[in-house]
Structure 1
Amino acid sequence: MTAAAHRGSASRLLGAGDKGLPADAAGLTVAEFLARKPSLTDLWTPLLVIDDGALDDNIAFLAGWVAERGLELMPHGKTTMAPQLWWRQLDAGATGITVATPSQLRVAVDAGIPAVMLANQLVQPDAIRWTAAAVAAGTRVWSWVDDVAGIDAIEHALGDSAAQPLEVLVDVGRPGGRTGARSLEAAVAVARRAAASPAVRLAGVTGYEGAVAHGRDAEALASARAYVDELLAVHQALTPLYDGRDVLVSAGGSAYPDVVGAAFAAAGPTRREAPRNAPAVRGVGVGTVGGDRTRFVLRSGAYLVHDHGYYRQNSPFDGAGLRPAARGLARVVSRLDASTAIVDAGKRDFPFDEGLPEPLYAIGAAGERMPLPGGVTTKLSDQHGFVRIAGDSPLGVGDLVVFGLSHPCTMFDKWRLVPVVDTLDDPLNAIVTDLVETRF
């Protein structure tokens, strides 16, 4: 299956619940609507819109960057929850998709994704049994464990009924962090338990450096690197417990892929060095890091659309491979106060948890582009945005405001269908080329 083949929304009927689409789209299928080559200006505001060219460029950039280092990419699918986009990532070389919950795993399996990492511990009996059935039917699934209780839960749910063991990765954390075994000794204890269990297969180690480091200053970068070294040390200590088949070492969100990629590349196919200060654990020998059976996997997900806020500030690839692919569009519905314009987009339309939308420019009734010097979004309510502007700005009721958005992970969940256009350089002449269906 390919992205072109997986057009699950092509036959979907459009209706009044698909916000942003014009009224005359109701009753059409997605394919019929797109066949009309609708203009972006045919759509109603508020809107979330994706630039197809930027999307392609971002996908190609990270795929190439990972491949050059002999690494793999299983991008986090929770960012978009859009199988159409997941398949574009797979077609570009991603070896799987990462999800966060059993429900998201169901979406991935339903979409035919062949390899899925569940970045969480399976604990609900029904979800465990469903996952085992999906594995037996041919989907490869890795889940995380950070406690022997997680392995107990799998054993109790499956009993002797599992057709094959579930593959698990030992989640490595830090005291006071999120999930993850809190020490090397604790991680080894979980791994020993997994290696001895008939219900699971010990398949590697994993973790998330973004839970222990924040920002791009020297201290944050050092903390992220130290964490990856700890992860590699756990992997090295577990080598004698592996069964000779492939194992995964996985980390790497969208803020520190350079840090993780450098450490993985040094430990992986080209240079098989041990991590710095790798300790030994009594009763477990120290093996080499890397080897033909070890697959080093990054999970960056937000790179797909990048942004104008959080990742513009924190990604090492901003302006050097990645560019924002998403915009928010809203119209001015009130300007009763000289220094404030009220637009028709709010918390139910645009992300706001890692920075408010940034007004980039406006387009007037005659199609003229208007700069918005000093324009700032000061507040979002449910359905309205408050934009501070210069008192003498010509911005008026009905004018279109184009926003840069921050944090892709809370961008797509507000939309059932997201329009994709051929360009966002010229919104007035942009053509809608696709509607991406989300499955939140």
Structure 2
Amino acid sequence: MSVEGQIDWRTKGFWWPGPAVDAADFVAAGHHLFSAAFTWPTLVVRRTAIEHNIRTLADFCARHGLAFAPHVKTTMAPSLIAAQVAAGAWGVTVATASQALAVRAMGLPRVVLASQVLDPAPLRWAAGEAEHGFDFLFQVDSTSGVAIAADALRTAPGDRPLRVLVELGYPGGRTGCRTLAELAEVAAAVDAAPRLDLAGVAAYEGGLPEPAQAAAFLDRVRAATRDLGERGLLPAEVVVAAGGSAYFDIVAERLADQWLPGHRLTTVLRSGAYVSHDDGFYRLRTPFRRLPDEGFLDAAIEVWAQVLSTPEAGLVIVGMGRRDVPCDEGLPEPAWVRRPDGTVVPAHGLRVTRVNDHHGFVATEGVTPVRPGDLIGFGISHPCTAFDKWRAIPVVDDDRVVVDVLQTYF
């Protein structure tokens, strides 16, 4: 991991009132998390957990014949993205045009934008980058979207086409064509449009509540892809892209291998939250609970916040709120209490009940006594809304000495 950026008064979580210091010099100084170089709250990631998670899913994809394009919207941290690519990623996935611009500036040669692109300016930019070897794939789910893209590319530089994935969805889900007939209509529109090449099919099963529903939907994706092949709409080399962090085992089961007659198939997995995992939403939903022999993921994120008040029996107020931690898919999970003398004990009997902008409400059963000035270490739920709250994130070793500083670009 490389170190970039500076640390100064603008760097949330760090306590650096003096002149700015290069992040590399800050790391070289060997600051401990519980030294005077930090204030509270602070979010950190554990290096050993991050490295383990990157290696674990890279190995899973290799065993199951999946190309991997991790969804880097989770972190938007260049050094973590570089580590994922170094582990063998086929490309990366992003959620927005601005994220595509950012990762291209980081030097990434292949990007899947897992959404519709209806703004002509990014489409023309992507076309210009394609002239220099940039492999950019984006999704469409309507003939209107195809028309917008085709019109934007009429005035784009060069003549290389952009690659398009037609998206299949499901009723009540996010984007994506709802029927196979509609998907075929959109695919035919892409096939007929100048400067657009139909590359294959995309889908997202992660919003479905149960594994059986995800499996049934991915079976439809497979049937839809075969249907497009029988219609003569697919190229010789086809991409099928799917997969969040909850059902990647089912993606491997239903979509891996060469099941498309007459075509060479690349099945692309797009999981993102795996890189840091969590202590809530994905701890309960990780496929490794179904496949314990295939490995495990380790929660990498810790948030340390100070106890500000114990105003009444059974209530602790900490200096940590929704500007610091995710709360959209579950509240933080208390794990440790650190006393001012450095003693650390398990946070038994503590439970976060709600968060304000800068305060967290912790119910206590009195099992672990808590006093103002103590620090509580929390795990989080849903990493995809954690990293974006911090522009600089300390990476710590197992002794909680800072060994890197992640910069994020959302």
TM-score strictly above 0.5: yes
User: What amino acid does structure 1 have at the position aligned with 2:233?
Assistant: L
Q: Does 1:255 align with 2:230?
A: no
Q: Do the aligned partners of 2:96 and 2:115 also contact (CA within 8 Å) in 1? A: yes
**Residues 258-269 of structure 1 correspond to what in structure 2 (within 5 A)?**
258-265=249-256, 268-269=257-258
Residue of structure 2 aligned with 1:373, choices 345, 348, 364: 348
Q: Is the 8 Å Cα contact of residues 13 and 26 (structure 1) preserved in structure 2?
A: no
What SS is found at the alignment partner of 2:288?
coil
Question: 1:392 offset after TM fit, Å?
Answer: 6.9
Are 2:407 and 1:437 aligned? yes
> Does residue 64 of structure 1 match 2:59?
yes
- Identity across aligned pairs (percent)? 41
Q: 2: distance between equivalents of 1:178 and 1:227?
A: 13
Q: Indicate conservation of the 8 Å contact 2:218/2:251, yes or no.
A: yes
- The answer for the alignment partner of 1:336 in structure 2 is 311
Deviation at 1:337, TM superposition (A): 1.5
CA-CA distance at 1:391 after TM superposition:
4.1
Describe the superposition over 1:304-341 as per-residue Cα deviations: whole angstroms up to 9, x where unpaired: 01100000111122574101111111111111223111
The list of structure 1 runs, each at least 4 consecutive aligned residues, that deviate by more than 4 angstroms after superposition, is: none
Q: 2:228 maps to which residue?
A: 238
Q: Distance in 2 between matches of 1:135 and 1:309?
A: 40
State the number of aligned residues.
401
Structure 1 residue ranges without an equivalent (≥5): 215-219, 273-286, 424-428
User: Which of residues 109, 118, 143 in structure 2 aligns to 1:148?
Assistant: 143
Q: Is the 8 A contact 1:25 1:33 kept in 2?
A: no
Structure 2 unmatched ranges of 5 or more: none
Indicate how the Cα distance of structure 1 residues 26 and 67 shifts in structure 2: closer, same or farther if over 3 A, else same.
farther
**1 CA distance for matches of 2:155 and 2:31?**
56
Contact 2:349 2:367 in 1 (8 A): no
Q: Which amino acid aligns with 1:156?
A: D
1:35, distance to aligned residue in structure 2 (A): 1.1
**Which residue in the other structure is 1:280 paired with?**
none
2:13 aligned to 7, 14, 20, which one?
A: 20
Distance 1:35 1:234 in 2: 54
Name the residue aligned to 1:73.
68
**What secondary structure is seen at the aligned counterpart in 2 of 1:178?**
coil
Residue in 1 aligned with 2:41?
46
Secondary structure, aligned partner of 2:98: helix
Mapped pair 1:192 → 2:163: no
**Bigger Cα displacement from structure 2, 171-180 vs 46-55:** 171-180
Distance 1:401 1:201, change over 3 A: same
Equivalences for 1:301-340 in 2 at 5 Å?
301-317=272-288, 320-340=295-315
Give the superposed CA RMSD: 1.6
The range that moved more, 358-367 or 90-99, is 358-367
Deviation at 1:205, TM superposition (A): 0.3
> Are the structure 2 counterparts of residues 232 and 314 from structure 1 closer, same or farther at C-alpha, using a change threshold of 3 Å?
same
Distance 1:314 1:65 in 2: 17
Structure (1/2) with the larger strand percentage: 2
Alignment of 1:165-180 (within 5 A): 165-180=161-176
Q: Residue 397 of structure 1: which of 367, 372, 375 is its match?
A: 372
| Residue aligned with 1:317, SS | helix
Question: How many angstroms does 1:370 deviate by?
Answer: 2.4
Tell me, in whole angstroms, the C-alpha distance in 2 between the residues paired with 1:330 and 1:177: 36
SS at match of 2:310: strand
Measured after TM superposition, the shift of residue 390 of structure 1 is 2.8
Match of 2:206 among 210, 214, 224: 210
CA contact (8 A) 1:421 1:433 kept: yes
Q: C-alpha displacement at 1:222, in angstroms?
A: 1.4
Distance 1:368 1:208 in 2: 45
